[in-house]
């Protein structure tokens, strides 16, 4: 299961250009937002069924335990989202709050467009 998660993430990842704050040696890799653990487990089951002979499949609960134990948790938002969200919560003036909230809204719209462009279409 762990090898499958690693291989799966390499196929559908959204790599970040650099490691955050220069502390990590490797930049984080994010899966698309529609990719849940259930989606990954279903892909894993399908992959095991296609093997000759079919491989043994671990249950969903076991795959979650493996995921939690072996895959470092990552937030599902980028550094820009975090920075803007912090700015929204740190301001005291109404105009600053509105400006920060609008900046976050625009960033989310842009990120959504990028994510939609990166997602494979059903006709492909």
For residue 124, being part of any structural domain is answered with no
pLDDT at site 18? 55
Identify which of 46, 6, 31 has the alpha carbon closest to the alpha carbon of residue 119: 31
Output the average pLDDT for the chain: 76
pTM (predicted TM-score): 0.50
Per-residue confidence (pLDDT) for residue 122, from 0 to 100 = 46
In a domain, 123, yes or no: no
Could you tell me if 41 and 84 lie in one domain?
A: no
Which tokens belong to 30? 């994010």
Q: Tell me, letter by letter, the H, E, C secondary structure of 66-120.
A: HHHHHCCCCCCCCHHHHHHHHHHHHCCCHHHHHHHHHHHHHHHHHHHHHHHHHCC
Report, as an integer, the average pLDDT of 91-102.
84
Say whether both 16 and 40 belong to one domain. Answer: yes
């Amino acid at each position: 299961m762990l090898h499958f998660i690693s291989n799966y993430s390499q196929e559908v990842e959204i790599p970040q250009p650099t490691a955050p704050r220069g502390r990590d040696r490797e930049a984080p890799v994010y899966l698309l937002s529609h990719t849940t653990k259930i989606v990954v487990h279903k892909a894993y089951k399908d992959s095991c069924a296609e093997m000759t002979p079919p491989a043994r499949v671990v249950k969903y609960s076991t795959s979650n335990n493996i995921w939690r134990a072996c895959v470092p948790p990552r937030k599902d938002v980028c550094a820009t989202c975090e920075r803007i969200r912090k700015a929204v919560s740190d301001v005291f003036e109404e105009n600053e709050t509105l400006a920060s909230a609008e900046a976050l809204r625009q960033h989310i719209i842009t990120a959504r467009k990028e994510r939609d462009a990166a997602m494979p279409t059903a006709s492909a």
